Amino acid sequence: QPDLNWENPALRNEIYSMIRWWMEKGVGGFRLDVIDQIAKEPDRKITNNGPRLHEFIRELSRETFQHGDLVTVGEAWGANPEIAKQFSNPDGSELSMVFQFEH
């Protein structure tokens, strides 16, 4: 998987454009792999739930997902039940649900 720089607004806007294109085609949902890694801190040990994670996901949802009737699921490898609630708040500002793998 590519290691994209989510700090770059132009990159985020391009991602939103691609998602809107698929939405216009009528897709019913999106799976976002390792979504909890998009806000990692450069040159640091890989950790989940970086400092801007939920800000980025709320923006993603606001710019794309909230404009359609979609199911969105994110893979969040460190998501215990409390963390999962942060991603899938009933207010709909982030994702429909998350899952994690036990490795």
Catalytic residues: 33, 75
As a whole number of angstroms, the distance between CA 80 and CA 28 comes to 26
